[in-house]
Amino acid sequence: MSYVTNVILIYDADDEDQFLANINAGMDAEMSHGGAFASVDDPRLPFAWYGGTKALEIGVAIAAFNYLNEERLLAMLRAVPMRMLESLHVVIQSENDDNPRFIAIKKSGEG
């Protein structure tokens, strides 16, 4: 059996690759059961595919997790050094949710 939770990170980071590497490195097996985020700019994907005809100008990373510990994920995201980010928003939808939840971790202009 499984219980899948889909997560989308939307972020504006000074160094998007480093930000995403830090997030994935901070996720232990108990929290994510082996899942990891992948950027929509991942070289394994077609160039500019998620932006339609244009490349996205903001960071977007997606993941599907089995038995995700959402509380630990959100706590970890809230602990990210904000000097790395302009903004960070999270979209979460578990398989039994009727609608996704949108969570602002840090909005543009916040210190």
Query: pLDDT (tens digit, 9 = 90+) per residue, 20-45?
Result: 888 888 887 777 777 889 998 888 88
3-state helix, strand, coil in the chain (%, to 5): 25, 30, 45
Structural domain span for residue 48: 4-106
DSSP-derived 3-state class of residue 71: helix
In a domain, 11, yes or no: yes
> What rounded mean pLDDT belongs to the chain?
85
In a domain, 111, yes or no: no
Nearest to 12 by CA among 51, 58, 70: 58
Q: Contact, 1 vs 24, CB < 8 A?
A: no
Provide the CATH number for the domain around residue 39.
Answer: 3.30.70
Rg (CA), the chain: 14
Cα 21 from Cα 37, distance rounded (Å): 9
The total of structural domains in the chain comes to 1
pTM: 0.87
Q: Is the pLDDT of residue 10 over 90?
A: yes
Cα 22 from Cα 77, distance rounded (Å): 10
